[in-house]
Amino acid sequence: AWEPEEEERPRLGASGPVKVKVPAKINLHLGVGPARPDGYHELSTVYHAIALHDELTARRGDTLTLTMEGVGAGELALDDTNLVIRAARALARHTGVAAHARLHLRKQIPLAAGLAGGSADAAAALVACDALWGTGMTRDDLAAIAAEIGSDVPFLVYGGTALGTGRGETVSPVLARPTTWHWVVAVADGGLATPAVYAELDRLRALRAAPPALGSTDDLLAALRQRDPEVLAGALGNDLQAAALSLRPQLADVLKAGRAAGALAGIVSGSGPTCVFLAYDASEANMIASALESAGVCREARTATGPVAGARVV
């Protein structure tokens, strides 16, 4: 029987706007190894996508443009340095199409917060442009392109809960019976630059002033399978936390306030300065969020469940 070649299949694409929702991520376990010759650190991490979303809309256009509204509007460059533009161009280059689109970003995920907001937007751009241009990439194809944009971008193409290795770009899903976890996200005023936090960890380790490295993700994965928030609370950990606290000592007050408010555990999210707290259930999460806001230790505290899907057309 005659079968069409891959190249002969028409690229249809979308005529109307394509809207993509993408979540923020936290790391339930962030084990950081020594710096590699390329400057990156070898990671063993467990990523977790939470229900705090950005939205990217892609429309047909004659050039590639990006506009934005919401959190961080006016602070973020919208030129070729923006991860959204870089992701769209990378997809165009890989698929041989013209990088023409009008992209509009509605942001809720705070910038430089340790929640991978920029990486999320890049993942959204890959999914949105793939649909707009009809380039027919699989998730795995998009994740491979995503790895060129940043270490966290492949995870945000998949979402859920996943193991990350290498510099974080090698992602494999964590298979577990569905469980919803309840988080409180305490957003700080001002961000922390990820490279500065990794550099601070290297400095602390050279001085033997950092806590012992977390190592393997085994305990965290076993805790996830037990589906008991008190067990998961005992297994959360982040090697970057000591470095974030060293650069931003006030974060200790945030962590203390969350635990005092009844959180089962609190950790710095990624490179910070956002702190995330595990709550027993939804109503506990609401109480902890209110208590954190009343304590005045953060700009904003919001609740978010996880895991949720990665970047997807809605």
Relative to beta strand 237-238, strand 265-268 is unpaired
Q: Taking the complex as a whole, how short is the minimal distance between the CB of residue 43 and ligand C5P, in angstroms? A: 5
Distance CA 270, CA 251 (A): 13
Q: Taking the complex as a whole, how short is the minimal distance between the CB of residue 90 and ligand C5P, in angstroms? A: 13
- DSSP state, 98? -
Count CA atoms closer than 13 A to 313's CA, side-chain side.
13
The tokens 């902890």 sit on which residue? 288
Q: Taking the complex as a whole, how short is the minimal distance between the CB of residue 120 and ligand C5P, in angstroms? A: 12
> Rounded to the nearest 10 degrees, how much is the dihedral formed by the CA atoms of 105, 138, 88, 111?
40
Q: Do 174 and 46 contact (CB within 8 A), yes or no?
A: yes
Distance CA 107, CA 158 (A): 20
Q: Taking the complex as a whole, how short is the minimal distance between the CB of residue 123 and ligand C5P, in angstroms? A: 12
Instruction: Report the residue number, 83 or 232, with the smaller CB distance to ligand C5P.
Output: 83
* CA dihedral (115, 121, 124, 126) positive or negative: negative
Relative to beta strand 265-268, strand 275-279 is antiparallel
Q: Taking the complex as a whole, how short is the minimal distance between the CB of residue 92 and ligand C5P, in angstroms? A: 20
Q: Taking the complex as a whole, how short is the minimal distance between the CB of residue 164 and ligand C5P, in angstroms? A: 9
Q: Which residues contact 151 (CB under 8 A, 6 or more apart)?
A: 40, 43, 119, 166, 167, 168, 169
Tokens of 173: 């899903």
Residues with catalytic roles? 25, 152
Distance CA 64, CA 24 (A): 25
Element spanning 25, H or E: strand 18-35
Q: Do 34 and 43 contact (CB within 8 A), yes or no?
A: no
Instruction: Report the residue number, 64 or 112, with the smaller CB distance to ligand C5P.
Output: 112
Instruction: Report the residue number, 271 or 303, with the smaller CB distance to ligand C5P.
Output: 271
Instruction: Report the residue number, 133 or 158, with the smaller CB distance to ligand C5P.
Output: 158
Give phi and psi for 251, each to the nearest 5: -65, -25
Tokens of 10: 């028409």
* Binding site residues, ligand C5P, CB under 6 A: 40-41, 43, 150-152, 167-168, 194-195, 198
